[in-house]
Amino acid sequence: MTPRASGNGAPEDRARGNRASQDRASEDRASEEGGGLTLLPAVDVAGGKAVRLVQGAAGTETDYGEPLQAALAWQAAGAQWLHLVDLDAAFGRGSNAELLASVVGRLDIAVELSGGIRDDASLAAALATGCTRVNVGTAALENPDWVRSAIAEHGDKIAVGLDVRGTRLAARGWTREGGPLDEALDRLDADGCARYVVTDINKDGTLAGPNLDLLRHVCARTTRPVIASGGVSSLADLKALAGLVPDGVEGAIVGKALYAGAFTLEEALRAVAV
Look up residue 47 and give its DSSP letter.
Answer: T
Q: Pairing relation of β-strands 49-52 and 38-46?
A: antiparallel
CA distances, 101 to each of 19, 81, 127, 197 (Å): 12, 16, 10, 21
Cβ atoms within 10 Å, residue 86: 24
> Which residues carry out catalysis?
44, 163
Cβ atoms within 10 Å, residue 116: 27
Phi, psi of 75 (to 5 degrees): -60, -45
Cβ atoms within 10 Å, residue 55: 16
